[in-house]
Amino acid sequence: MATDTRERLVDWLQDAYAMEQEAETMMKAMASRIEHYPALRGRIEQHVEETRSQAAQLAGCLEQLGASVPTAKGTIAKGMAAMHAAGNAMMKDEVAKGVGISYAFEHMEIATYRSLVIAARRAGEAQVAATCEAILAQEQAMADWLFENQPAVIEAFLEREAADVTAKR
Ligand code: MG
Ligand code: FE
């Protein structure tokens, strides 16, 4: 049976909503644990706020399309993310790995919104496409920030570790 593009669009918007729930949980956990990397912590906190707004915008798109907002999917994603965050906290180089994990996550989001923009355009949903483009720009900005600031974080991490002061967070 064929799936029309509008159904596919709804499905991807619901997946994106769950992804943002996961992102919020992961980043909140990470930011709250960081003590010695204020620039990283600040940028993550900023992106947590953006992420909350993204989830609300996705819910708005789904309502506009007459589709449901997947609360159960979001709850499962949050649970998985909390487990991931707890696992990451065990690592001795938590902050260094965290930058990489965040960078990877932002790129999953970038790919998600690029696909959503195409699907929304094909479905004739210009407003949904514009919303997804705006979110895409925020994900790209976060990925760019992580790329540009990774060297400073890693330098600081190695310096702290070598000086035998708390380095991991
Ligand atoms: Mg996001
Ligand atoms: Fe993001």
Residue 53: how many other CB atoms lie within 10 Å: 14
Reference 127, options 15, 13, 17; nearest CA is 13
Digit-by-digit pLDDT tens for the chain (169 residues) are: 678 999 999 999 999 999 999 999 999 999 999 999 999 999 999 999 999 999 999 999 999 999 999 887 778 888 888 888 888 888 899 999 999 999 999 999 999 999 999 999 999 999 999 999 999 999 999 999 999 999 999 999 999 999 989 999 9
Ligand nearest to the CA of 146: 2
Task: Measure the CA–CA gap between 9 and 138, rounded to whole angstroms.
Answer: 20
Q: What separation in Å is there between the alpha carbon of 60 and the centre of ligand 1?
A: 15
In the prediction, which pLDDT does 82 show? 86
Q: Say if CB 39 and CB 152 are below 8 A apart.
A: yes
Burial 83-119 (b: 16+ CB within 10 A, else e): ebbeebeeeebbbbebbebbbebbeebbebbebbbeb
Those residues whose beta carbon sits under 5 angstroms from the ion ligand 2 are 109, 139
Residue 132: what pLDDT? 98
> What is the reported pLDDT for 157?
98
d(CA 54, CA 13) in angstroms, rounded, equals 11
> Whose CA is closest to 106, among 81, 135, 80?
135
Do the Cβ atoms of 96 and 154 come closer than 8 Å?
Answer: yes
> How many whole angstroms from 131 Cα to the centroid of ligand 2?
14
Please give the full DSSP string across 48-71, using - where no structure is assigned: HHHHHHHHHHHHHHHHHTT----H
Give the Å distance between the CA of 158 and the centre of ligand 1: 29
**pLDDT of 37:** 97
Report pLDDT for 75: 83
pLDDT in the model for residue 115: 98
In whole angstroms, what is the distance from residue 108 CA to residue 6 CA?
22
pLDDT of 27: 96
Task: Quote the DSSP letter at residue 36.
Answer: S
